[in-house]
Amino acid sequence: MAVAAPAARARETVRQKRERDQELLVWPDLVFVEFICAVLFTITFVVLATFFDAPLLNKANPNVTPNPSKAPWYFMNLQELLLHMDKGLAGVIVPTILLIGLMAIPYVDRDNEGQGSWFGTINSVRITVFSFFWSSIWISWLILWDNGSHVLVYQHLPQLWGSNTRLQWLGDKNPFAGWPVEGALKPIWDFIFLRNRLAIRDTWSWSLPVPFQPGSGPHDGRLDWPQDFTRIPLPLNGTWLWHWAQPGWMPGWMLHVYWYKSTFSLPAITAEWAVPILAMLGLPALMIIILRKIGWAHTMRDAIIALFTGFIVVYFALTIVGAAFRGKGQQLVPPYRVPNLNDDPAIQRQVPLSPSQFVVVDARTPGSGIYG
């Protein structure tokens, strides 16, 4: 006898009513559409495959690295992301969170409204359009900013009006010279003109007089960025729980997990983690807030449409930038300056083999061919 499972928490699932008078028979109305679709696409792909050959470069050679080396196109977005934040964050943490987030969509947005038709809720189209522009503008700006392109723009501004000078002094000049709190205002001014994200770690510097020494550097009466912030010990360092030295008894693989020498570099964490995370969380959050303020987004579905659209835009934008705008050494270049690997003599197939040049691979004659 079947025993009814206890309903732990009844899911309130509203099923659609069947409209039998509106229904068609699957045979022939659907099966034939599927069949025609399959035939059409078979023909399309046979034609495509006749005229466009799959690429085959030289045989794999670990000693010759193509420049640039690129991942398959659907992972070029991850490769692009790696250029803008810590490798672990870009390569693993962000994709994992995104996949979990994708799977969570139906559990967060449980409302049945807007089901089963394109852009079924009242504001969904304008939210999608807003998110499309918001995301594409911000992702382009972030990529350009991390490339230092804005520095080039403002340095070349006078040349627009015919002058041959460049405003190289703009970032160096201190408009607050002689002000009472000059030492505090100068870092802010410098921060505005930082070249990119990594410049927070590498070129931004300031020095404040302090009576004590909170950082890790020698006590010279001043607190200096970045050198006083590069080796900040974690709170538990030196206790039995958290050693300074390598615990000798610990097997090697465990040391990956147990950070025995735990100091962290605030400049590096700011540039590699804090700024990217701030951008990735802050900009979508700001978008939702704006959409709510202007009265377009009311429900969870509205927010999810905005976020999902942003995800799709960023996914394809990063793919396009990674594929078409990254040249040698992953430099940001216009598409016509992205090197074609087929032009590289070390990588391309140099001499197309004609059939007669082939060695017949025959396992029965081990002295011949590639086994020889």
**Interacting span for other proteins (CB under 8 A) from 7-15, 165-173, 195-203, 286-294:** 7-15
Buried b (16+ CB within 10 A) or exposed e, 9-38: eeeeeeeeeeeeeeeeeeeeeeeeeeeeee
CA distance 33 to 10: 38
Which residues within the stretch 90-119 sit at the binding site for other proteins (CB under 8 A)? 90-93, 99, 102-103, 105-107, 109-119
Compare residues 105 and 153 and give the one whose CB is closer to other proteins: 105
CA distance 301 to 289: 14
Q: Is 368 in the site for other proteins (CB under 8 A)?
A: no
Compare residues 119 and 244 and give the one whose CB is closer to other proteins: 119
Q: What number of other Cβ atoms are within 10 A of residue 322's Cβ?
A: 23
Check the CA dihedral 106-111-115-118 and report its sign.
negative
Which residues within the stretch 228-267 sit at the binding site for other proteins (CB under 8 A)? 253, 256-257
Task: Please identify which residue in the block is written with the tokens 């590069």.
Answer: 230
Backbone φ, ψ for residue 264 (5° rounding)? -130, 155
Compare residues 29 and 182 and give the one whose CB is closer to other proteins: 29
- According to CB under 8 A, which one of 43, 97, 120, 203 is a site residue for other proteins? 120
Distance, C-alpha 101 to centroid of its chain: 15
- According to CB under 8 A, which one of 50, 164, 239, 350 is a site residue for other proteins? 50
3 state DSSP class of 365: coil
Compare residues 18 and 293 and give the one whose CB is closer to other proteins: 18
Which residues within the stretch 302-361 sit at the binding site for other proteins (CB under 8 A)? 305, 308, 312, 341, 347, 353-355, 358-359, 361
104, two tokens:
């969570």
Which residues within the stretch 56-75 sit at the binding site for other proteins (CB under 8 A)? 56-62, 64-66, 69-75
Q: Is 153 in the site for other proteins (CB under 8 A)?
A: no
Q: Is 129 in the site for other proteins (CB under 8 A)?
A: no
* CA dihedral of 311, 313, 316, 319, whole degrees rounded to 10: -80
Q: What number of other Cβ atoms are within 10 A of residue 330's Cβ?
A: 17
Which residues within the stretch 264-293 sit at the binding site for other proteins (CB under 8 A)? none
Which residues within the stretch 19-38 sit at the binding site for other proteins (CB under 8 A)? 19-20, 22-31, 33-34, 37-38
Using a CB cutoff of 8 Å and minimum separation of 24, what contacts does 45-54 make? Answer: none
Query: Which residues, listed in sequence order, are joined to residue 222 by a DSSP beta bridge?
Result: 209
| Residue 358, phi-psi category: left (phi > 0), alpha (psi -120 to 50), beta (remainder) | beta
Cis check for the bond before 235: say yes or no (omega within 30 of 0). no
- According to CB under 8 A, which one of 8, 14, 192, 351 is a site residue for other proteins? 14
**Interacting span for other proteins (CB under 8 A) from 120-128, 186-194, 212-220, 260-268:** 120-128
Compare residues 30 and 236 and give the one whose CB is closer to other proteins: 30
Are the C-beta atoms of 174 and 249 separated by less than 8 Å? Answer: no
Which residues within the stretch 205-234 sit at the binding site for other proteins (CB under 8 A)? none
**Minimum separation from the CB atom of position 346 to other proteins (A):** 8
Compare residues 15 and 293 and give the one whose CB is closer to other proteins: 15
Q: Is 172 in the site for other proteins (CB under 8 A)?
A: no
